[in-house]
Amino acid sequence: MSQSLAPAGPLAAVVLTGDLARPARLTVADLLNWPQHRAQVSFDCATSSVQRHRFEGPLLHEVLLGAGPGFDRTRRKDRLRFLIAVSGADGHRALLSWGEIDPDFGQAPVLLATRIDDTPLDRHGPQLVLPQDRCGARHISGITAIRVDGGYPVV
């Protein structure tokens, strides 16, 4: 995972879409309205040396709950059919399941980082950080879009 902090534009924003009651367009400044969590992360990938970073930002789970995912509360475990697709400005993408980030299931502390190593990401856009991943392959810099899709039946 290499870090490129070239300016992305005046104020980079993330567009939240999909099965949400309140789709949104969020800047890094908007993401500061959620509780900020910290994570010390080491990425150890076969193609590069170990990289260590300090990230700060809200939990992905909390931000998406704020957008009102379209869960059917009458269906047991309906949340488990939801997938989360994250896209970055550089074309990188990652796919997560709701169960992975939900405190009732996997409770992975996935961040929408607003800072890296004490550097604000206002002009670069937030970063998707999965501290539990050994390699940073699902790390997304300059997030442009997050889509929540509940079109997958639980089998």
Asked if 132 and 109 touch (Cβ cutoff 8 Å), the reply is: yes
**pTM over 0.85, yes/no:** yes
Tokens of 43: 């990425």
Query: Domain extents for the chain?
Result: 13-149
Phi, psi of 74 (to 5 degrees): -85, -15
Give dist(CA 78, CA 82) in Å, integer: 8
Asked if 1 and 131 touch (Cβ cutoff 8 Å), the reply is: no
pLDDT digit string, tens, across residues 8-27: 455 789 999 999 999 999 99
Q: Which CATH class is domain 13-149?
A: alpha beta
Residue among 23, 25, 27 nearest 9 (CA) = 27
- CA-CA-CA-CA dihedral for 70, 12, 86, 89, to nearest 10: 150
pLDDT digit string, tens, across residues 29-63: 999 999 999 999 988 877 778 889 999 999 999 99
